[in-house]
Structure 1
Amino acid sequence: MSVKHLCIVILVFVFSCSPKALIPQETLQDNTPKPLLIIGNEEVFSEEFLHILSKSREFQTMDEKLTSEEFEKNLALFINFKLKVKEAENLGLDKVEEFDREFEMFKEDLIKPFLIKNSLQEGELMKAYNRMQEVVKASHILLQFPNNASREDSIAVFRMAEKLKKEAEAGADFNELAAKYSDDPSAKENKGSLGYFTALQMVYQFEDAAFSLNPGEISSPVLTNFGYHIIKLEDRKPNPGEIKVSHILVRTQAGDPVSEERALRKIGDIYTELQKPESIWEEVCQAYSEDLGTKNTGGNLPWIGVGAVLPDFERVAFALTEEGEISPPVKTLYGFHIIRLEDKKPIAPYEEMEAAIKSKILRDSRSGLIQSQVLAMQKSKFGYVENEALIEEVKKVYTENQKNNIQEIVSQKQLLDSTLFTITAKPKTVGDFIGFTKADRQNVRITGEGYFKSWFDKFIEVSLNEAEEADLLANNDDYRLLIKEYRDGILLFSLMNEKVWQKALEDSLGQQNFFAENIDRYQWKERVNALIVKMGKDESAPAVKKFLSDKKLLPNLQDRLENTFLDKDPLAFTMEEGIYELEAHPVLKKADPTKTFQDLKIDGKVVFLVLGEKVPAGPKKFEETRGKVIQDFQEYLEKDMVRILKKNYIIRINEDEKQRVFETVVNR
């Protein structure tokens, strides 16, 4: 988040900071809402004031309620806030391109929790996390489609899948069927066995089917991008979480029996060596492991969960129970391993895993399924009705003509004002669609279905999203008030930046004049030139004290002190030298200003002081206090702006409405 965005957030939370407080709405609701304020000709309702107040308090108990003074102060601040927003609007700050860009960026984030998509996404996140509490073991048979498969080819593959399912259910060995018929290249080795896995480790359709089975059950054919799968669930058990292991590896060469026999003898000798009480794992690993990436770090591997490594390695690693326990040699595709358990932990809480789960879901096929559900729910909720005949006619125009000629052709056919579809009974015309494609504000990937279908699907999606946003603004008070809060916050930032902050920073003459007119604010109290030595080591204190006790504060004293002591021991003490106000400095205010040298004990540490010339009280130079002048000048400009705004805009307060709010939020 940029500094500017942070400032906007701070401004919109000017009255408070907690976003989840509640107002007892039934107390405040009225069939005919009346404004709390009228500023100029704009009505401002109680709900907006209460929305801001409720950021810090719930007003459900007496302890949370305001005092009368707090209520009046907050109301005054709110009026000033609305005055500034009104002025920003009158200056046209809500019409500039930068405002639109900032507001759209904030809206994009603010609307997310309120959308249909968010609730569906949250459901998928929780479903995935709940599934992650288990691991399942399954085998599968994959039947792929031939290249350029026809509809008849697809049906034939499906029927073959059904045939194999029936054979397996009739008693045929599932793994032998996989070895004979599966198009998965690994099936020749593993006979279709996938080992254990959990959620988000397989494509969604496969995962969904596997987790719906009971051990021993065989699924109906499951279609994925790889083809049709028949899945047999073999086991399901609680997820053991993650483990951290280290290993020693002796590599083998595939298909070389001599290499494998030599590796087996070597790993056996290493295992024997590790059984000796005097053996040290790290030393043995460094001497013999052939995993060059880990041999010098004790063979340490990253945390692993079920399904993250080769099944043979995983099976042995997860069978270890005690930290430091060492496995017998285990063979994998890489060679022979000896595995040591270093640590284990259960599956993390949902809050810790939410971001990672969401990232995975948004990258897999689930995201497309969620979007399909969103569109279906939006179409139902907002009364989507399409003109199928017209859509086909426009599609034909796009298919048979150059895109540059589309508008002219459609215009000749008198179709520009024809309705492609309606949402909430509002038409979207052919002209609207053409304008949408020409605006080129959307990132549309052209699929195999062609230019028109790709753009038309995006047009429907954007139109439905706009309808959902409009519905939220009209019917969801929480969203509407939140959007208004941030909109007004951006305008407030723009106004303050233009009329107060930047003006005070850039107006050097104004700074000088303000300084001169308010010189009484910028006065030094009595000061003294001082060298302050804070001891870091008490054993050096006597020598330093002896050195300083008869010295005057001369310009070279600090250098002499450093050369005498710090060259030998840089941590003996720290020093600071300058002109300080006696009353304001935490050390000097405890000192005796009449003594040139003195030693003090502050917070258990020895401190030596050498005092020099005193400087009487008097005015500061502008350069000495410029930062404070600018800060005060900004405060002055803001107060002056509010004073002028109160003259320029008539403010009327509805006393009856104010009293109603007062009775709700004030502790009496």
Structure 2
Amino acid sequence: MLFAGLLACASVSAQTDDPVIMIVNGEPVLRSEFEYSYNKNNSEGVIDKKNIEEYVDLFINYKLKVCAALDAKYDTLQSFKDEFAQYRNQQVRPAFVTDADVEKEARKIYDQTVEQIGPDGLIQCAHILLRANQQAPQAEWDAAKVRIDSVYKALKDGADFAELAKKVSQDPGSARQGGLLPFVQHGQLVKEFEDAAYALQPGEMSGIVQSPYGYHIILMKERKMLEPFEFHHDAILKFIEQRNMRDQIAEQKIGELAKSTNKSEAELLDEKAAELSAQDMEMKYLIQEYHDGLLLYEISNNLVWDKAAKDEAGLASFFKKNKKKYAWDKPRYKGMAYHVKVKEDVKAVADCVKKLPFDKWAEALRTTFNADSVIRIRVEKGIFKQGDNALVDSAVFKKDTTVTKVKDYPFDAVYGKVLKKGPEDYTDVRGLVVADYQEALEKEWVAQLRKRYAFEVKEEVLKTVNKH
């Protein structure tokens, strides 16, 4: 009895801490979910911010659309399942990786580096290079050899290595640093250079060394073994983060867990997602946001966005009913401004398109005049207002403006017609009509959903949003 009483108290406490703010299609929505959505969509930097009362309607519409998508079984589509799993798993995978796993990987990287470096350790050299191309004639190599002999003699006579490197070395990157190269290990230098360098002790200078790049003189600056793990610890951790190696660690760990538990990786990811959702409200709602957002996209695309864009008859009808909305304050010119190489083509271009629909002009002109390597015409096609095109302004709108001649196309012309009252049909303003038609379909759909599904808002709880 005591245990049951404690459970009841806990249940009441949970409801008090996070009460139901609305019920949509029989499903309770907690205040925390509404706050998560509202705060995320009205954060700093959001242009069209909403107050809580305005956002309630948007949130309800969102939930109703998700209900419709679930009823239509969009969540059973394999394409949806795959895409949702991909998004969700991106959030879940890192949770398999512990600090101990990262430390283990850091130690592994360090040990592998020590092994690669080997017993000869790291070296830092300075060098002077006089270049000779590997395929260059012998005379070029001979000339470079004479110059390097002179440099070597100067160094043996006491010239400062760094100063001489700055003046004569033809390796620009190191020359600016007095010939200094970074620390390297075996395998990072060409063999001829590496063999000569590793033979030197700090302070020793090589003789003249020939490599595929030319002639070098090498000065050993420092030799060392790799510092202890602790010295490089933070740098290795930074390297792991920069290379996104946590993903690799997670993949490896999930694979090992799958073998040891006889579970599939998908099952492990499902379990981890449920665990994280139970522990972290932000993660729970982020995963739900992915899930519902993908459903919303699919159903909205099918019923509104893509449907409107492809419904030519619907667009035409919508335009006809709302034609006054698209009227222009000033005339437009529906046609083209074009430039041709020969005068005869001025008429030929007009004859080519005069019996064709406007949207067929471009293809007809391309195949007739610009089908081969010789481009006979330059064309700008569209619906022009004053100021859009200098040739149209001059030839059609009779404005005093300068028309810049197109090189190699001396003959200018226009073809089309002036639309004084507004567009002829929806294709003249297709982008605007599509957007408005989509908006109309959206409103009609939402109205239907609000009749189809029941919803209730707890006004008293709504007043406590972000105030508890």
Instruction: Check whether TM > 0.5.
Output: yes
1:338 aligns with 2:193: no
1:196 corresponds to: 122
1:624 aligns with 2:428: yes
SS of 2:76's equivalent?
A: coil
Change over 3 Å in CA distance of 1:661–1:305 after alignment to 2: farther
Cα distance in 1 for partners of 2:321, 2:90 equals 46
Cα distance in 2 for partners of 1:490, 1:245 equals 61
Paired letter, 2:68: E
2:263 corresponds to: 459
Cα RMSD, aligned residues only: 5.8
Shift of 1:38: 0.8
> Which protein, 1 or 2, shows the higher relative CO under an 8 Å CA cutoff with sep ≥ 6?
2
Aligned residue pairs: how many?
364
The answer on whether the counterparts of 1:306 and 1:314 sit within 8 Å (CA) in structure 2 is: no
Shift of 1:64: 9.3
Q: For 1:269-288, list aligned pairs within 5 A.
A: 271-272=148-149
1:494 corresponds to: 298
Cα distance in 2 for partners of 1:249, 1:361 equals 46
1:74 aligns with 2:55: yes
The answer on whether the counterparts of 2:122 and 2:183 sit within 8 Å (CA) in structure 1 is: no
1:313 aligns with 2:190: no
The answer on whether the counterparts of 1:103 and 1:490 sit within 8 Å (CA) in structure 2 is: yes
Paired letter, 1:313: E
Q: For 1:103-252, list aligned pairs within 5 A.
A: 103-113=84-94, 115-117=95-97, 119-123=99-103, 193-196=119-122
**Pick aligned residue for 2:40 from 47, 50, 55:** 55
1:649 aligns with 2:453: yes
- The Cα offsets for residues 527-569 of structure 1, whole Å up to 9 and x where unpaired, read as 2559999xxxxxxxxxxxxxxxxxxxx97999xxxxxxxxxxx
Shift of 1:495: 1.0
**Pick aligned residue for 2:28 from 21, 36, 43:** 43
- The Cα offsets for residues 295-321 of structure 1, whole Å up to 9 and x where unpaired, read as xxxxxxx9985455259739959x9xx
Shift of 1:40: 1.9
Shift of 1:351: 9.8
Greater shift in the superposed pair: 91-100 or 48-57? 48-57
The answer on whether the counterparts of 1:274 and 1:281 sit within 8 Å (CA) in structure 2 is: no
Paired letter, 2:51: E
Greater shift in the superposed pair: 625-634 or 348-357? 348-357
Change over 3 Å in CA distance of 1:31–1:123 after alignment to 2: farther
**Pick aligned residue for 2:401 from 598, 604, 608:** 598
Change over 3 Å in CA distance of 1:617–1:94 after alignment to 2: same
SS of 1:36's equivalent?
A: strand
- The Cα offsets for residues 74-97 of structure 1, whole Å up to 9 and x where unpaired, read as 222211111111111122222232
The answer on whether the counterparts of 2:207 and 2:218 sit within 8 Å (CA) in structure 1 is: no
Shift of 1:644: 0.9
Paired letter, 1:597: D
Change over 3 Å in CA distance of 1:306–1:660 after alignment to 2: farther
**Pick aligned residue for 1:329 from 208, 227, 244:** 208
The answer on whether the counterparts of 1:245 and 1:340 sit within 8 Å (CA) in structure 2 is: yes
SS of 1:37's equivalent?
A: strand
1:481 aligns with 2:407: no
SS of 2:120's equivalent?
A: strand
Cα distance in 2 for partners of 1:367, 1:40 equals 39
The answer on whether the counterparts of 2:96 and 2:254 sit within 8 Å (CA) in structure 1 is: no
Paired letter, 1:53: Y
Shift of 1:648: 1.4
Cα distance in 1 for partners of 2:187, 2:92 equals 36
The answer on whether the counterparts of 2:308 and 2:315 sit within 8 Å (CA) in structure 1 is: yes
The answer on whether the counterparts of 1:525 and 1:581 sit within 8 Å (CA) in structure 2 is: no
**Pick aligned residue for 1:91 from 72, 88, 95:** 72
Paired letter, 1:271: I
Cα distance in 1 for partners of 2:269, 2:401 equals 75
Shift of 1:473: 2.5
The answer on whether the counterparts of 2:254 and 2:265 sit within 8 Å (CA) in structure 1 is: no
Shift of 1:658: 0.6
Cα distance in 2 for partners of 1:470, 1:330 equals 65
The answer on whether the counterparts of 1:247 and 1:338 sit within 8 Å (CA) in structure 2 is: yes
Shift of 1:619: 3.9
Cα distance in 2 for partners of 1:138, 1:499 equals 60
Change over 3 Å in CA distance of 1:250–1:525 after alignment to 2: closer
2:18 corresponds to: 33
Shift of 1:98: 2.5
TM value normalised by structure 2: 0.58
Cα distance in 1 for partners of 2:51, 2:127 equals 56
Paired letter, 1:94: D
Shift of 1:457: 5.5
Change over 3 Å in CA distance of 1:73–1:663 after alignment to 2: same
Cα distance in 1 for partners of 2:65, 2:432 equals 24
The answer on whether the counterparts of 1:99 and 1:490 sit within 8 Å (CA) in structure 2 is: yes
SS of 1:193's equivalent?
A: coil
Cα distance in 1 for partners of 2:150, 2:440 equals 81
SS of 1:652's equivalent?
A: strand
Shift of 1:102: 1.9
Cα distance in 2 for partners of 1:476, 1:67 equals 29
Cα distance in 1 for partners of 2:246, 2:129 equals 27
The answer on whether the counterparts of 2:393 and 2:399 sit within 8 Å (CA) in structure 1 is: no
TM value normalised by structure 1: 0.42
The answer on whether the counterparts of 1:36 and 1:657 sit within 8 Å (CA) in structure 2 is: yes
Paired letter, 1:338: H
Cα distance in 2 for partners of 1:124, 1:245 equals 42
Cα distance in 2 for partners of 1:80, 1:360 equals 38
Change over 3 Å in CA distance of 1:505–1:599 after alignment to 2: closer
Shift of 1:493: 1.0
Cα distance in 2 for partners of 1:244, 1:459 equals 58
2:175 corresponds to: none
Where is the helix percentage greater, Structure 1 or Structure 2?
2
Paired letter, 2:453: Y
